[in-house]
Chain A
Amino acid sequence: MFAARKLVLAHFWVAFVAFGAAILLGEWQMLVRSPMVGWVSNPEHYYRSVTFHGVVMAYVLPTLVAMAFGYAVCELALKRPLVGLKWAWIGFWLVIAGVVLAAIPMATGYASVLYTFYPPMIAHATFYIGVVLVVVGSWVWVGLMHVNLRAWQRENPGAAIPLAMFGTLAGAYLWAWTSLGAAIEVLVLILPVALGLKGTIDAGLARVFFSWTLHAIVYFWLMPAYIAFYTIVPRAIGGRLYSDTMGRVAFVLFLVFSMPIGIHHLFGDPQVGAGFKFVHAAMTALVSVPTLLTVFTITASVEIAARLRGGQGLFAWVKALPWKEPAMLAVAFSFVMLGFGGAGGIINMSYQMNETIHNTQWVTGHFHLIFAGAIVIMYFVIAYDLWPQLVRGVSLPAKLVRTQLWLWFVGMMVLTMPWHLVGLLGMPRRMAYFDYSNPALQSQAWTVTASTIGGLMLVVSAVLFIYILATARRNVAEPAPYSFARSLHPDDPVPAGLNGFALWIGMMVALTVVNYGFPIAQLASVKESSVPAIHMGRP
């Protein structure tokens, strides 16, 4: 790596230290909700903790990891120093300033709005200003990704954009467009109320704007993991990427379809029409296509590695895989969690089936399994894979790394499967305590204990992860040169449409206008829809 080494390290460390703190809060939440201890004496403390856990895990961790990975990919894939290093540091400090600013009202109980920004709950203005700074910092990253690609293209006219960089750009453009919804919500609707200029807020419109961001943000979190699937895993296990084109197709499909589907989070909201709910549900179904393409392509790539190592037979090749390689273990765990989580997701997005699990513990189980499971385990792989470049030539303790990944996988399954089960039985999410002495609930008590044990395994895994990274010392003069996975047919030409973004960004914007234009215009024009704001931390 060239110029961005310290920059990438700084992003990673802030992300992982915050992650370490937030996971402790998550486990505390499980513990106080379980039948093992008495009820939390002040439920507000519980929601304060949920807010902190959610803000760190959903905004701080993935944003910083995506930024760090993007900067690293920029240098490693384009093979040139990062353009605009100074700007990148400004972006980083904006994110840090935002996090600190938002943390103050969160810690003092003036921002216990959870991490979903759903009015009429209103936090202290500094919370929103902090979040806006984080987003602006990430926009600097978006701009830099774009500028670096252009600079490289000027030097290499007509050349195929490396797949890792192509995916990074898809993620950056997706984030730029999707963060706009929450930005409008915060700047136009929430901040005037938080600053005391207005006493009422259009909660229905705000929720629609938030849904604009809320679902596609998941694909922004997911992009680094998918880039790792395509460009790190095949190389790490000694195989070849089965199809470079398939990777590009998956990335552009995410760009087009992840954005205009957020209303599937609002199936229970009366202010949105049933027609739009159906259209969003149908298009949510389409976003499973790039994931299915990816699972197929990566499984094929893995099979190539197995056959290169002498694997035989229809399925017996699985035994020939390098199971001691952390990337191999992680991708297998990731796919298992993606499988369960994806199947659950299809239930969430179905307009009718959603009724059974809407706002239950099932939903919490779903997004922990997909994001904290399938995606975050790939963040670990990314960190482990880049660490020798970042701290210069180090080999990580492989056994400890495997233990960490095993603990994360088993812990996540033990945490989330009971949540899915009780969600089906109707346990609501976001509850500070349950009365287990009630005969109707008593039979569900064990599931909360089980999840607490799963959470404890995740805490141990997180501690191991940070320990492994922190104790890595420089022990070789120079790291081995970094490379991304080679595809099976590296000389195949890349289709012109898949070597640029204009068409796909055009489709993304057009679909957004079709799917969001009318609901937003209609809600904005209804005058009677504002409700009194409820300020957190005030009487």
Chain B
Amino acid sequence: MGRGVFWSIVTLAALTLVTVAIGFLWLPSAHADFTAKGVWDMICRAAGVPEKWGDGAAAKPAARSTQVVLDASMARAGPADAGGRGASLALAQCTMCHGPQGMTQSNAPNLAGQYSDVIVKQLLDYKQGDRASSIMQSLAAALAERDVTDIAAYYASLPKPRNTPVQDMDKVPALVKTGDPIRNIAPCAACHGGIERKLGTPWLEGMPREYLAQQLGAFASGERRNDSHKQMRNVARGMTPAEISEVSDFYARQAHE
């Protein structure tokens, strides 16, 4: 190895060591955020190792059911400017998970065309800690009452995703069209649309399959309990995993607008 080569390598190595020492030892040592838990922790922080978060504490199931009293006024269109104000709020806080216009490829629920009473109820439940989600609870906590109704007005104003119409009624799962009276399972379509739509029940067509299956599971296990009078818990508890899968598939079929 020539002298030039040798010194080039030594210089580069020394330079790297000095910058690393400054970046990982000297600079962080000047800040209490870095030095709080000792030298090794300080180096880890400077290297960008994330702190553990979301350790389950925030996602503990709520102890009580919902405090929200459903009211027909929640379903009425608000003042003309509510949707515009809601769009600004949604743009800043909701689009990341729920898609730029309420439709998403992720497993977060689609909100486009969702009934305003549904969004108001769920946001209030999150705000009051009755529906568990570390992300949604902290976002909802900051919303004023008017923010909630504005966001709801915005999403309600967007076009609903619709499934391909079913020509053959035999292909609709039995639980959706007739339920199973002997097990005390009401037909989905009796509240979620198709037969009848009840205040506070969401539009389900085009929802992500994972989301539907997960929520039915959470109702069945009692992990989610913000349904008034245990309406969904009583239904979901009676369903088998295969049935949960079947109705989730049905509502999540390729959406058409």
What does the 1/0 interface line of A528-539 toward B look like (CB < 8 Å)?
100111110011
User: With A and B bound together, what is the CA distance between A279 and B28 in angstroms?
Assistant: 13
The binding surface of chain B is classed by DSSP as helix
The answer to whether the Cβ of A104 comes within 8 Å of any Cβ in the partner chain is no
Contact between B96 and A532, CB atoms less than 8 A apart? yes
**B108 contacts which chain A residues (CB < 8 A)?**
532
**A539 contacts which chain B residues (CB < 8 A)?**
99, 101, 103, 112, 257
The answer to whether the Cβ of A256 comes within 8 Å of any Cβ in the partner chain is yes
Contact between A199 and B107, CB atoms less than 8 A apart? yes
The answer to whether the Cβ of A291 comes within 8 Å of any Cβ in the partner chain is no
The binding surface of chain A is classed by DSSP as helix
User: With A and B bound together, what is the CA distance between A532 and B95 in angstroms?
Assistant: 10
For residue B232, give the distance in angstroms from its CB to the closest CB of chain A: 25
Number of A interface residues in the complex (CB < 8 A): 36
**A273 contacts which chain B residues (CB < 8 A)?**
45-49
For residue B176, give the distance in angstroms from its CB to the closest CB of chain A: 25
Contact between B105 and A503, CB atoms less than 8 A apart? no
For residue A349, give the distance in angstroms from its CB to the closest CB of chain B: 13
**A200 contacts which chain B residues (CB < 8 A)?**
105-106
What does the 1/0 interface line of B1-21 toward A look like (CB < 8 Å)?
010110011001001100110
Which residues of B, 47-62, contact A by the 8 Å Cβ criterion? 47-50, 54
Return the contact of B22 from the options A278, A511, A522 (Cβ within 8 A).
Answer: A278
Return the contact of A275 from the options B4, B15, B23, B107 (Cβ within 8 A).
Answer: B23
The answer to whether the Cβ of B27 comes within 8 Å of any Cβ in the partner chain is yes
Contact between A276 and B19, CB atoms less than 8 A apart? no
Contact between B96 and A497, CB atoms less than 8 A apart? no
Contact between A256 and B48, CB atoms less than 8 A apart? no
Number of B interface residues in the complex (CB < 8 A): 38
For residue A2, give the distance in angstroms from its CB to the closest CB of chain B: 36
The answer to whether the Cβ of B97 comes within 8 Å of any Cβ in the partner chain is yes
The answer to whether the Cβ of A9 comes within 8 Å of any Cβ in the partner chain is no
Contact between A276 and B12, CB atoms less than 8 A apart? no
Contact between B23 and A282, CB atoms less than 8 A apart? yes
Given contacts A522-B48, A532-B96, A534-B99, contact A274 B23 (CB under 8 A): yes
Return the contact of B48 from the options A495, A519, A528, A531 (Cβ within 8 A).
Answer: A519
For residue B160, give the distance in angstroms from its CB to the closest CB of chain A: 11
User: With A and B bound together, what is the CA distance between A87 and B99 in angstroms?
Assistant: 45
The answer to whether the Cβ of B100 comes within 8 Å of any Cβ in the partner chain is yes
The answer to whether the Cβ of A103 comes within 8 Å of any Cβ in the partner chain is no
For residue B75, give the distance in angstroms from its CB to the closest CB of chain A: 24
**A534 contacts which chain B residues (CB < 8 A)?**
95, 99-100
The answer to whether the Cβ of A440 comes within 8 Å of any Cβ in the partner chain is no
Given contacts A497-B5, A503-B8, A511-B12, contact A276 B107 (CB under 8 A): no
User: With A and B bound together, what is the CA distance between A328 and B23 in angstroms?
Assistant: 43
The answer to whether the Cβ of A446 comes within 8 Å of any Cβ in the partner chain is no
The answer to whether the Cβ of B201 comes within 8 Å of any Cβ in the partner chain is no
User: With A and B bound together, what is the CA distance between A273 and B51 in angstroms?
Assistant: 12
Return the contact of A271 from the options B27, B43, B48, B54 (Cβ within 8 A).
Answer: B48
Contact between A279 and B19, CB atoms less than 8 A apart? yes
Contact between B48 and A276, CB atoms less than 8 A apart? yes
User: With A and B bound together, what is the CA distance between A503 and B3 in angstroms?
Assistant: 13
Contact between A275 and B46, CB atoms less than 8 A apart? yes
Return the contact of A276 from the options B15, B47, B100, B106 (Cβ within 8 A).
Answer: B47
Contact between A511 and B16, CB atoms less than 8 A apart? yes
User: With A and B bound together, what is the CA distance between A196 and B106 in angstroms?
Assistant: 11
Contact between B106 and A532, CB atoms less than 8 A apart? yes
Given contacts A200-B106, A282-B23, contact A275 B48 (CB under 8 A): yes
Return the contact of A199 from the options B48, B100, B106 (Cβ within 8 A).
Answer: B106
Chain A residue nearest to B13 (CB atoms) is: A510
Chain B residue nearest to A196 (CB atoms) is: B105
Contact between B12 and A528, CB atoms less than 8 A apart? no
Contact between B8 and A282, CB atoms less than 8 A apart? no
The answer to whether the Cβ of A496 comes within 8 Å of any Cβ in the partner chain is yes
Contact between B19 and A495, CB atoms less than 8 A apart? no
Contact between B99 and A518, CB atoms less than 8 A apart? no
Contact between A535 and B105, CB atoms less than 8 A apart? yes
For residue B237, give the distance in angstroms from its CB to the closest CB of chain A: 29
User: With A and B bound together, what is the CA distance between A534 and B95 in angstroms?
Assistant: 9
Given contacts A532-B106, A539-B112, contact A274 B46 (CB under 8 A): yes
Q: Residue among A199, A271, A497, A532 with the most chain B CB within 10 A?
A: A532
Q: What are 5 A-to-B residue pairs whose CB atoms are below 8 Å?
A: A272-B48, A277-B23, A507-B12, A532-B108, A535-B105
Using A274-B28, A507-B9 as known contacts, list a sample of 4 further A-B pairs with CB atoms less than 8 Å apart, ordered by residue number in A.
Answer: A276-B23, A278-B19, A514-B16, A539-B103
Give me the interface of B with A, judged by CB distance under 8 Å.
Answer: 2, 4-5, 8-9, 12, 15-16, 19-20, 22-24, 27-28, 34, 43, 45-50, 54, 95-97, 99-101, 103-108, 112, 257
The 8 closest A-B pairs by CB, nearest first: A273-B48, A532-B106, A275-B46, A278-B23, A199-B105, A275-B24, A275-B23, A282-B19
